């Protein structure tokens, strides 16, 4: 029997980007899709795909990811940002990796939608180098893992503030859990780069990544 798959999609208060993602997820053939909204997000929703469940949890991506995972009993978990978008090659790579049922974390190649500055190709290149050369894929690359790996790393640390995905990767590395490039794209919005400016946003991300790496690579410093 093929391993079962569940998908967790957290969304911040007022974020409706998931409306474009959920219809794409039917082709992933998941057992269930869990849309995790922040408590207090009371926007009225229209009809959702049949296998989508909506829950609410305390706000914060780590809390929402863990709340969604806690409600799932599938063999594999795929964590996607609400503004992610997928294509056929994404799903092909997804199914191959799940069928192999390796004790590892898979990640996709980050690509940006055409809603940001022209220089976003440099950010995609940076994400490629960070994940492939440094072994640090982030959550916007669609982290995919068996439940046993999620349990082994203790889920997403709800106490780190920003960078729960980064902390999870360091936890996996500490346990010698392999990271696998799935060599297919996951697209994400670049609208925050358009809103805040390419240079300022890129600079802040690089700075935060370096600070988090220094912190999360030393588990005793995470609290």
Q: pLDDT tens per residue, the chain (223 residues)?
A: 889 999 999 998 888 899 999 999 999 999 999 999 998 776 656 678 888 999 999 999 999 999 999 999 999 999 999 999 999 999 999 999 999 999 999 999 999 999 999 999 999 999 999 999 999 999 999 999 999 999 999 999 999 988 999 999 999 999 999 999 999 999 999 999 999 999 999 999 999 999 998 888 876 555 4
Alpha-carbon gap, residue 185 to 183, rounded angstroms:
7
Query: 164-174 and 198-216 are packed helices; what angle lies between their axes, rounded to 10 degrees?
Result: 40
> Exposed (0-12), middle (13-18) or buried (19+): which is 217, by Cβ within 10 Å?
middle
Domain assignment of residue 177, given as a range: 5-221
Domain count, the chain: 1
Nearest 10 degrees: Cα torsion 180, 181, 185, 186: 40
Residues 6+ apart with CB under 8 A from 45: 54
- Find out whether 53 and 30 touch, Cβ atoms under 8 Å: no
Distance CA 167, CA 155 (A): 10
Q: What is the pLDDT of residues 50-85, one digit of tens each?
A: 889 999 999 999 999 999 999 999 999 999 999 999
Q: In what order do the strands lie in the sheet with 52-57?
A: 52-57, 32-38, 5-11, 76-79, 144-146, 105-112, 179-188
* pLDDT per residue as tens digits for the range 179-206: 999 999 999 999 999 999 999 999 999 9
The CATH code of the domain that includes 101 is 3.90.550.10
Selection from 135, 167, 145 nearest residue 80 by Cα: 145
């Amino acid at each position: 029997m093929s391993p079962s798959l569940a998908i967790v999609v957290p969304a911040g208060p007022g974020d409706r980007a998931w409306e474009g993602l959920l219809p794409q997820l039917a082709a992933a053939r998941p057992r269930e899709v869990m849309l995790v909204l922040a408590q207090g997000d009371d926007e009225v929703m229209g009809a959702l795909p049949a296998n989508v469940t909506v829950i609410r949890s305390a706000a914060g991506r780590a809390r929402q990811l863990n709340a969604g995972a806690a409600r799932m009993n599938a063999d594999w978990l795929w964590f996607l940002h609400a503004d992610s978008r997928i294509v056929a090659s994404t799903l092909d790579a997804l199914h191959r990796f799940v069928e192999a049922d390796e004790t590892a974390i898979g990640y996709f190649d980050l690509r940006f939608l055409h809603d940001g500055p022209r220089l976003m190709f440099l950010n995609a290149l940076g994400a490629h180098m960070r994940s492939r050369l440094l072994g640090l894929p982030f959550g916007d690359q669609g982290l995919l893992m068996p439940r046993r790996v999620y349990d082994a790393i203790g889920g997403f640390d709800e106490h780190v503030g920003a960078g729960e995905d980064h902390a999870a990767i360091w936890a996996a590395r500490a346990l010698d859990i392999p990271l696998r490039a799935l060599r297919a794209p996951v697209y994400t919005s670049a609208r925050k780069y358009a809103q805040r400016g390419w240079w300022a946003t890129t600079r802040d991300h690089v700075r935060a990544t370096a600070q988090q790496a220094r912190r999360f690579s030393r588990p005793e410093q995470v609290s």
